[in-house]
């Protein structure tokens, strides 16, 4: 979309102001890139770690004398008038300031729920970077924002947000979405001469470099997939590469949001998580009737890119496998630069990057100027990310987040809160188990102690009440 035409036509003020909550990796990139955009300013950051907030501004090139710590709303207002950049330790201060929108980037599900609700109640747009919150109560926050006349939006730069835009574009053209999803940041690098496959540490989701040896008798599984062999190759690769790190709950979390906003479905609860070269995606991620591995069409997936070191990768980007009903349109889609499957029935369209907070200013400007989200029009609580115990868990044990190796994530149809129903993964974080839980057990409400005064749990009840009608 040529946004600048729309921004120029609809802007009512020269600068859109955003308050940022959470100055981690993503939030810092929002700040640094905002300095290059005349229409956008981020004059205040809220973070319990004031050093991190200060560092975000310093990385953006702000001089130390222009960065001021403050704890008082009135003083913050004065400093904003002076053109200073302010850091505060209380996010609620942002709600009292004349900012157009709030960027929630804490990554903490409870905090995201609290800040999202407060922003909406104070008449501010909310850009929800915290996918952990979005996966649990995103439909409700979107509903409340619409009622309040403000925008609730995912963000460009994160994979589920980018996937929403890609799917909307394809559907606008009348293309059929056979499958769509994200590539993991981690990739598997194949050294055929050494007979080994490496997953290198990235410092984000993979913290140590690991490798596996490939026996000559198994080398066939790593040759390019040809027609009719997708199922056998995907299965063999999964087994042979089981010692390498694969997708976690943090990957599936984004696909839950994609399912709830785009009407896509998980083919199986843990997704296929196939290890694929780029040209293999349209071959494998189509129905079995077309020699792929899928039971259905219109599914969400997570893949790990498989490549030689000097081959292009997926870069943690997003993809779609699409089809056309019309033969002539299909010919164009499968011959004009896109990668088709062997039968010529599907083609791959992909974006081999996601630029985190660097891309997010477009979302902020769309909300602040156009009063629109860069996400999907539909937002329904159809699916949940849930957790199963990988090992025996003890009563009183604190449940970890979606990086915890003691938990195995999957995506299932959403159920109502109550005994025997699965607890959404990010409602578990930091809460205690009420009794011993054997390995292989799905974590349900009767197994988990409900936290006191939780906004997240309160909003989840409200979401079920509203969307059950």
> How much is the average pLDDT of 377-382?
94
Q: How crowded is residue 365: how many other Cβ atoms within 10 Å of its Cβ?
A: 23
H helix or E strand, kind and range, residue 111: helix 109-121
Task: Name the residue among 318, 319, 341, 320 with its Cα closest to residue 330.
Answer: 341
Residue 337 scores a pLDDT above 90 = no
Domain boundaries, the chain: 3-157, 162-354, 383-467
- Per residue in 42-69, pLDDT tens? 999 999 999 999 999 999 999 999 999 9
pLDDT of 1 over the 80 cut = no
Q: What share of the chain in percent tops pLDDT 90?
A: 93
pLDDT at position 207? 84
Q: What is the pLDDT of residues 254-281, one digit of tens each?
A: 999 999 999 999 999 999 999 999 999 9
pLDDT digits (tens, 9 = 90+) for 24-40: 999 999 999 999 999 99
350 burial class (0-12, 13-18, 19+ CB within 10 angstroms)? buried
pLDDT mean over 147-151: 98
Q: Provide CATH code, domain 383-467.
A: 3.90.1210.10
CA distance 140 to 460: 8
- Per-residue confidence (pLDDT) for residue 133, from 0 to 100: 98
Q: What is the total residue count of the chain?
A: 469
∠ CA(32), CA(133), CA(20), 5° rounding?
25
- pLDDT tens, 93-109? 999 999 999 999 999 99
Residues 92-122 as b/e (b if ≥16 CB within 10 A, e otherwise) read: ebbbebebbbbbbbbbbbbbbbbbbbbbbeb
Region 408-429: what's the mean pLDDT? 97
Q: What is the pTM of this model?
A: 0.95
pLDDT in tens, 298-311: 999 999 999 999 99
Please report how the helices 131-148 and 455-467 are oriented relative to each other, as an axis angle in degrees rounded to 10: 60
Q: The tokens of 96 are what?
A: 């009292």
> Which of 60, 29, 57 lies closest to 69, judged by CA?
57
Q: Mean pLDDT across the chain, nearest whole number? A: 96
Q: Are 27 and 56 in contact (CB under 8 A)?
A: yes
Q: From CA 138, how far away is CA 459, in angstroms rounded?
A: 10
Q: Render pLDDT for 108-147 as a digit per residue (tens, 0 to 9).
A: 999 999 999 999 999 999 999 999 999 999 999 999 999 9
Is 228 a residue whose pLDDT tops 80? yes
pLDDT at 377: 87
DSSP per residue, 341-378: -TTSS-EEEEE----GGGTHHHHHHIIIII---SS-S-
Residue 339, C-beta contacts closer than 8 angstroms, at least 6 positions apart: 278, 279, 281, 282, 347, 348
pLDDT of residue 26: 96
Is-same-fold flag (3-157; 383-467)? Answer: no
The answer to whether the Cα torsion of 394, 399, 405, 411 is positive or negative is positive
Q: What end-to-end distance do the CA atoms of the chain give, in Å?
A: 36
- Residue 86 CA to residue 92 CA, distance in Å, equals 14
Banded model confidence at residue 232, pLDDT cuts 50, 70, 90? very high
| Residue 170 · residue 177 · CB < 8 Å | yes
Query: How far, in Å, CA of 181 to CA of 264, rounded?
Result: 10
Does the pLDDT value for residue 226 go beyond 90?
no
Q: How far is CA 395 from CA 92, 392, 432, 435, 447, in A?
A: 35, 10, 8, 4, 9
Cβ contacts of 229 within 8 Å, gap of 6 or more:
291
- Tokens 């602040």 map to which residue? 368
Does the pLDDT value for residue 468 go beyond 90?
no
Residue 422 near residue 100, CB atoms below 8 Å: no
Q: Of 3.40.50.300, 3.30.830.10, 3.30.300.30, 3.40.50.720, which CATH number belongs to 3-157? A: 3.40.50.720
The answer to whether residues 395 and 43 touch, using CB atoms and an 8 Å cutoff, is: no
């Amino acid at each position: 979309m040529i946004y600048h035409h729309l921004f120029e036509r609809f802007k009512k003020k020269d600068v859109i102001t955003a308050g940022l909550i959470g100055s981690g990796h993503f939030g810092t990139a929002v700040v640094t890139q905002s300095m290059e955009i005349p229409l956008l300013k981020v004059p205040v950051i809220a973070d319990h770690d004031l050093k991190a907030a200060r560092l975000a501004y310093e990385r953006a090139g702000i001089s130390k004398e222009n960065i001021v710590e403050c704890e008082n709303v009135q003083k913050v207002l004065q400093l904003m008038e002076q053109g200073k950049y302010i850091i505060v330790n209380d996010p609620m201060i942002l709600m009292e300031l004349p900012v157009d929108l709030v960027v929630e980037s804490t990554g903490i599900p409870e905090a995201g729920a609290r800040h999202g609700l407060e922003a909406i109640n104070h008449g501010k747009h909310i850009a929800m970077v915290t996918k952990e919150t979005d996966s649990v109560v995103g439909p409700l926050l979107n509903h409340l924002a619409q009622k309040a006349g403000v925008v609730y939006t995912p963000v460009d730069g994160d994979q589920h947000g980018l996937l929403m835009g890609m799917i909307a574009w394809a559907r606008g053209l009348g293309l059929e979405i056979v499958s769509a999803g994200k590539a993991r940041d981690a990739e598997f690098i194949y050294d055929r001469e050494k007979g080994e496959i490496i997953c290198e540490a990235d410092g984000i989701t993979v913290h140590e470099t690991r490798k596996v040896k490939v026996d000559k008798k198994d080398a066939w599984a790593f040759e390019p997939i040809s027609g009719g062999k997708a199922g056998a190759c995907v299965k063999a690769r999964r087994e042979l590469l089981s010692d390498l790190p694969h997708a976690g709950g943090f990957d599936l979390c984004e696909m839950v949001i994609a399912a709830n906003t785009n009407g896509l479905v998980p083919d199986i609860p843990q997704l296929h998580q196939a290890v694929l070269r780029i040209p293999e995606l349209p071959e494998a991620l189509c129905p079995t009737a077309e020699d792929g591995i899928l039971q259905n069409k219109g599914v969400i997936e997570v893949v790990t890119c498989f490549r030689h070191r000097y081959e292009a990768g997926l870069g943690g980007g997003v993809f779609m496998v699409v089809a056309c009903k019309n033969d002539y349109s299909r010919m164009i889609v499968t011959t004009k630069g896109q990668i088709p499957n062997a039968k010529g029935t599907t083609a791959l369209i992909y974006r081999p990057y996601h630029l985190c907070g660097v891309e997010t200013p477009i979302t902020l400007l769309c909300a602040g100027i156009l009063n629109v989200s860069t996400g999907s029009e539909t937002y329904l609580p159809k699916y949940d990310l849930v957790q199963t115990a990988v090992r025996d868990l003890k009563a009183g044990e604190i449940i970890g987040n979606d990086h915890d190796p003691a938990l195995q994530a999957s995506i299932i149809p959403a159920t109502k809160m109550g005994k025997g129903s699965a607890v959404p993964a990010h409602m578990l974080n930091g809460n205690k188990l009420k009794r011993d839980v054997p390995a292989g057990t799905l974590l349900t409400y009767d197994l988990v102690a409900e936290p006191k005064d939780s906004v997240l749990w309160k909003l989840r009840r409200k979401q079920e009440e509203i969307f059950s009608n």
